[in-house]
């Protein structure tokens, strides 16, 4: 898993995000969202650092604080792109584990056994063609700048073989 410190977090300023330690976290520090209008969390791996010939799913691992706002009931987007290239795939996703609106093709999180939430952001095959790429980049975005967002606690992004 890429810990939250290894992710690129837009607006990573003290007034927008803070670094906290949480019991039960696999990361020494987690990023807690204090207040932003534009949300973007990005992870990147080199395909050669993953097992060749396997398929992977990428998950955001997170919790929601009690003061969460601007996240519940909203739909975000995720994308998969190759280093320096165009977007290869996009998905509609929701960080909200409680609302399963009847919106077509929206991916919702599940609660893991350790109490953290995981939201599938993307799938890809680490085949011979992918191994030639410099990097696989996956991000979560909420670009609705009219809504203030707060209360997202990011542990990291997991690239898990299927």
pLDDT digits (tens, 9 = 90+) for 62-101: 999 999 999 988 899 999 998 877 788 999 999 998 876 6
How far is it, in rounded angstroms, from Cα 37 to Cα 48?
A: 35
The structure tokens listed for 48 are 């050669």
pLDDT for res 162: 92
2-161, which class in CATH?
mainly beta
Q: What is the pLDDT of residues 97-131, one digit of tens each?
A: 887 666 678 999 999 999 999 999 999 999 998 99
The CA-based angle 50-56-58, given to 5 degrees, is 105
User: What's the pLDDT tens digit per position in 9-51?
Assistant: 999 999 999 999 998 899 999 999 999 999 999 999 999 999 9
Domain range summary for the chain, segments of one domain joined by +: 2-161
Here the contacts of 100-107 (C-beta below 8 Å, separation 24 or greater) are 101/73, 103/75, 106/75, 107/78
Q: Cα–Cα distance between 8 and 83 in angstroms, integer?
A: 14
């Amino acid at each position: 898993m890429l810990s939250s410190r290894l992710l690129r977090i837009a607006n990573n300023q003290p007034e927008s995000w803070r670094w906290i330690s949480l019991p039960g976290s696999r990361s020494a520090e987690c990023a807690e969202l204090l207040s932003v209008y534009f949300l973007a969390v990005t992870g990147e791996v080199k395909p050669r650092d993953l097992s060749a010939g396997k398929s992977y799913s990428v998950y955001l691992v997170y919790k929601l604080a009690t003061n969460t706002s601007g996240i519940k009931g909203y739909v975000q987007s995720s994308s998969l792109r190759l280093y320096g290239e165009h977007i290869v795939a996009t998905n509609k996703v929701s960080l909200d584990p409680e609302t399963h609106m009847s919106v077509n093709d929206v991916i919702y999180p599940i609660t893991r056994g350790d109490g953290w939430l995981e939201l599938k952001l993307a799938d890809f095959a680490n085949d011979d063609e992918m191994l030639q790429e410099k990097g696989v980049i996956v991000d979560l975005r909420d670009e609705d700048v009219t809504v203030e967002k707060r209360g997202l606690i990011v542990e990291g992004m997991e690239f898990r073989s299927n």
